[in-house]
Amino acid sequence: MTGGAGFIGSNFVHAVRREGRVPVVTFDLLTYAGNLANLDSLKNDPGHLLVHGDIRDRKAVRDLFATVQPTGLFHFAAESHVDRSIENPAEFIDTNVTGTFILLDEALRYVKGAGRDRPFRFLHVSTDEVYGSLGEDDPPFTEKTPYAPNSPYAASKAASDHLVRAYFHTYGLPVVTTNCSNNYGPWQFPEKLIPTVILSALEERPIPLYGDGRNIRDWIFAPDHCEGVRRVFERGRAGETYAIGAHNPRSNREVIARITHILDRLSPRKSGSYAELVASVPDRPGHDRRYEIDAAKIRSELGWRPSHSFEEALELTVRWYLENRPWWRSLRGRYDGTRQGVGRQEKGGRA
C-alpha cells in the first residue's frame, strides 16, 4: 500500500485488516496529508507494518519488494490538491509521474526476478479529473472518454495513467487502473470541501464557496470506493481501466446546504443556522465545471455497487468529525483553514 496513511489509503487499510485475511505493508512518506493518527488503531496489529519511505527513492522501493515479496501493490499515493498543484506544479510532477514510474519499473524488475513464482498485480488508483470538464448536457465520463486534464494535478495523474498502460502493453506487467469520482468520509484532510465546511462551521469561521457554487461533482463514500478497488484487484481484467462512481452528482452549493442542515440538527449553534456562515470567495483558475462518472462497466463486469446513499454517508461523515475532534484539531498548522478544497479525491499524501 502506497499512501496508506492518507485519507482513502487509511480507509482501505482498515477495511482489509478488519477482515484479517492478508497482511498489509503501508509505505508512506508522511507528508502533510499522511497522518500516523489515521492508523492508530493498528499499532498492535501484527498483520500491519508501517514503513516510512518515499516512492521516488528507487533503492527503498527495491528493498521493500525484496523484503516483503508482495502479491499485490495498491498505489494510492499522490499529491492530490488542485490548489496546491497550481501553486507548486513541480511537486506534483515529481511525485505523481516520477514516483509512479519508479514503482512500475521496480515492480517489473520484481515480477521478472529469477525464481519468482508468486502471483502479483499492480493496482493504480487515479481520478476522473484526467477527463477534464463536462458541459451541462454532456454524458458522464466512461473508460473511453478522451483525456483532457485542465490542472497540473490532473495532468500529472493523466501522465501516470499512461505510464501504467504502457507498462502493460510494452512489458506485460499485470496492472489495473481505477478512475474514481470525488471521495468523502473519515480521515479526509481538512483542506477538502466537505471537511472544510464541517470544521469551518464548528469553529464559527466563514464557510467558503467558490464562485457561484454551481460546480458539480459526483460524490462517493470512501469505504464504498475502497470496496470497488478491491473488486477490481481481485476480478478485473489485466490491462483494463474501471471507472468507479456512485452516481451522486451534486453542486458545491447543494453539498454545503446539506452539511449545514445536518449540523443544525446534530450540533446546533447558539443562535441561527450554520448556513449564515457561507461566504462566496473568488473562483480559482481552471476550475472544472462538472464531473460525473458512468460506472456501468464495473457494475456489469464485476458486480460492484456502492453500499451507501449520499444522504446516509454524508451524515455518517459529519458524525465522524463531531466525534473525532482531537484528530482534526491536531492537524492545525498543516492546512490553511481559509482555503477551500472542492472535494478532490485524496489518495494519501506523497509516499
Any idea which residue has 490542472 for its cell? 151
> How far, in Å, CA of 192 to CA of 343, rounded?
5
Q: Which residues have a catalytic role annotated?
A: 128-129, 153
User: What Å distances lie between residue 112 and 107, 120, 121, CA to CA?
Assistant: 9, 11, 13
Specify the amino acid at residue 129: E
> How far separated are the first and last CA of the chain, in Å rounded?
10
What sign does the dihedral 214-218-223-224 (CA atoms) show? positive
- C-alpha grid cell for residue 287? 476550475
Burial grade of 58 (CB within 10 A; 0-12, 13-18, 19 or more): middle
Interacting residues of 106 by C-beta distance below 8 A, sequence separation 6+: 58, 61, 62, 65
> How far, in Å, CA of 122 to CA of 233, rounded?
8
Query: ∠ CA 298-304-310 to the nearest 5 degrees?
Result: 105
Residue 32 in 3-state DSSP? coil
Report phi then psi at 10, rounded to 5: -70, -35
- C-alpha grid cell for residue 350? 506523497
DSSP 8-state code for residue 93: I
Q: Which of 9, 332, 2, 338 is nearest to 186 (CA)?
A: 9
